[in-house]
Amino acid sequence: MKKILPNLNNKLPLSDAHHNKMIQLLDTLKETTHLKPDEFLYILDHITQVEKEYLFSLAKATKNTYYQNRVYLRALIEISNYCKQGCKYCGINHTIETVERYRLSKTDILKTCETAYLLGYRTFVIQGGEDAYYTDELLVDLIHIIKHIYPDTRITLSLGERPKASLQKLFDAGVDRYLLRHETASKRLYEHIHPAFMSFEHRRQVLTNLKEIGYQVGAGFMVGLPTQTNKDLVKDLDYLKDLSPHMIGIGPYLCHSQTELAGNQSGSLDETLVMVALTRLILPKALLPATTALGTLHNTGREQALNAGANVMMPNVSPTENRKQYEIYQNKICTGDTSLECRGCIETRIKAFDHEIDLGVGDFYDLERTKNDR
Contacting residues toward ligand SAH, per CB under 6 A: 89-90, 127, 129-130, 158, 160, 180-181, 183, 222, 251, 253-254, 256, 293, 328-329
Closest contact distance (angstroms) between CB of 147 and ligand SAH is 22
User: Could you give the C-alpha distances from 341 to 119, 186, 254, 277, 328, in angstroms and in order?
Assistant: 10, 39, 25, 29, 22
Closer Cβ to ligand SAH, 160 or 309, answer by number: 160
Contact between residue 298 and residue 251 where contact means Cβ atoms under 8 Å apart: no
Q: What is the largest CA-CA distance in the chain?
A: 64
Closer Cβ to ligand SAH, 200 or 329, answer by number: 329
Closest contact distance (angstroms) between CB of 127 and ligand SAH is 5
Element spanning 366, H or E: helix 365-370
- List, in order, residues 6 or more apart from 171 with CB less than 8 Å away: 213, 214, 215
Closer Cβ to ligand SAH, 299 or 330, answer by number: 330
Closer Cβ to ligand SAH, 129 or 362, answer by number: 129
Closest contact distance (angstroms) between CB of 279 and ligand SAH is 14
- List, in order, residues 6 or more apart from 15 with CB less than 8 Å away: none
Closest contact distance (angstroms) between CB of 310 and ligand SAH is 16
* Burial (0-12, 13-18, 19+ Cβ within 10 Å), 278: buried
Closest contact distance (angstroms) between CB of 46 and ligand SAH is 26
Sign of CA dihedral 64, 67, 70, 73: negative
Closer Cβ to ligand SAH, 9 or 208, answer by number: 208
